[in-house]
Amino acid sequence: MATIEERFDAIVVGAGPAGNAAAYTMAKAGLKVLQLERGEYPGSKNVQGAILYADALEKIIPDFREDAPLERHVIEQRIWMMDDTSHTGMHYRSEDFNEEKPNRYTIIRAQFDRWFNAKVREAGGIVLCETTVTELVKDTKGHVIGVLTDRHGGPLLADVVVMAEGVNGLVGQRAGLRDELKPQAVALAVKEMHFLPQEVVESRFNLSGDAGVVIEAMGAVSKGMVGTGFLYTNRESISVGIGCIVEDLAKSGVTPYALLDQFKAHPSIAPLIAGAEVKEYAAHLIPEGGFRSMPAIYGGGWVVAGDAAHLVNSVHREGSNLAMTSGRIAAETIIWLKRRREPCAFDNLAEYRKRLEASFVLKDMRKYQKIPGLLHNNRQLLNLYPRMLSGVAQSWLRVDGKAKRSKEAEIFKAVRKQRGVVGLVADGLRLARAWR
């Protein structure tokens, strides 16, 4: 067992977007950084859809486009409301997204995280893989001074520990810094990697060059649970997956893999992935509880960033950008304290919270704080509205010899029967209030 005697300015737990952002930012500023990752290589335990939002990474590594493993830049977003046989789509495609510095990319996380972590090493950070942090070490006053791992005999010591340990967050949980995840505030997502020749991907989605399409799907595909499906085009593969709130899933008796296979078999999805070779099946939790389920994010000698802090904007399907931004801001706060020769004490690290509040991260988390509760209490609507839309669209489009006026009357009658005018207005108001 190796013993590391030296003391670090910071120890970073985890090598996902939050951990890599924090470790890179601190190492680049000259701090002595030790980063610990339990996987064989950084990325080997990490799962995401995945979409990379350029802005968050640009603020950390401005020229990332030169060598980062990017799949396709997104030029088209489709939002599909699905019933069993149809989808009603809202599509936005723009040539403006074919720009010199595109805004969103599809990525493959195991490859991307490995690249990001190599940047940490280049910047002078020390990275130890295959090392699981087992607990935090505190002094007699409860101030965090380091960590214990499953590979080192003694504690590894640092002035501050950045917990970027991901959604499960066992290290912080077991140190009593935050509670266990609640089944109603976390979603389980499963996904598969479907490989197809590059030209097949491009012809099926009407693409050329490095351009890509992403689809987010809701409705019947989640079988009455709160959940969404997705399909993202990579260079020569398609990521297809579906996620549902864990509490709903446990009650439903539906297996996650059956849910995924049914999504894949939907007549709107099946032709897009037909003939593909599946090379991986992955599962991962997403903290969907929003602002109201966020734990404390700083204390004496510690800060939390990314999924471990529940920083996910489920409405906009954003998470990795909140992770990178919170990791960067945590690092900048620590650098700022170091330069002022101030300790990473509870009162001083309150600056991290302050800076995060001033950024889009906590502004967005606050904005949507009522949405998880709204969905929790109205999950049946996720099924009803896509069905209603499909019914309306189908009656409207079928040419069947009926006069248009009687057709309209039929449509309104069907809508009133399914939800009622009062219900419709109330749903609209509830959504508007939660959205505001």
Instruction: By CB under 8 A, name the binding residues for other proteins.
Output: 38-40, 43-48, 50, 84, 108-111, 113, 129-132, 149-151, 167-168, 170, 180-183, 186, 188, 190, 192-193, 237, 246, 249-258, 261-262, 265-266, 278-285
Question: Strands 33-36 and 7-13: what pairing?
Answer: parallel
Report the candidate in 284, 298, 305 with the shortest Cα–Cα distance to residue 35: 305
Please say which residue, 153 or 420, places its beta carbon nearer to other proteins: 153
Q: Where are the beta strands (DSSP E) in 274-417?
A: 277-287, 298-299, 302-304
Residue 195 CB, nearest approach to other proteins (Å): 10
**DSSP-derived secondary structure for 398-412:** ---S--HHHHHHHHH
Kindly state the smallest distance separating residue 135's Cβ from other proteins, in Å: 11
| Alpha-carbon gap, residue 306 to 16, rounded angstroms | 9
Q: How far is the CB of 26 from other proteins (least distance, A)?
A: 22
The smaller minimum CB distance to other proteins, of residues 193 and 356, is found at 193
User: CB of 390: closest distance to other proteins in angstroms?
Assistant: 16
Nearer to other proteins, 176 or 253 (CB): 253
Report the alpha-carbon distance of residue 375 to residue 222 in Å, rounded. 13
Q: Which is nearer to other proteins, 192 or 202 (CB)?
A: 192
For residue 113 the two structure tokens come to 């995280």
> Which residue, 251 or 402, has its beta carbon nearer to other proteins?
251
Least distance between other proteins and beta carbon 334 (Å): 25
Kind plus residue range of the DSSP H or E element containing 108: none
The two counts, helices (H) then strands (E), for the chain are: 15, 17
Q: How far is the CB of 261 from other proteins (least distance, A)?
A: 5
Element containing residue 42 per DSSP (H, E):
none
Residue nearer to other proteins on the CB measure, 270 or 429: 270
Handedness of CA 321, 79, 187, 355 (dihedral sign): positive
CB of 43 to other proteins, least distance (A): 6
Cβ proximity to other proteins, 165 vs 202, nearer residue: 165
Task: Copy the structure tokens of residue 359.
Answer: 């950024």
Shortest distance in whole angstroms from residue 399 CB to other proteins? 28
Q: How far is CA 243 from CA 81, 89, 282, 416, in A?
A: 15, 20, 12, 31
Where does 221-261 show beta strands of DSSP type E?
A: 227-233, 237-245
One-letter identity of residue 134: T
- Assign 103 to helix, strand or coil: coil
**With respect to other proteins, which residue has the nearer C-beta, 46 or 77?**
46
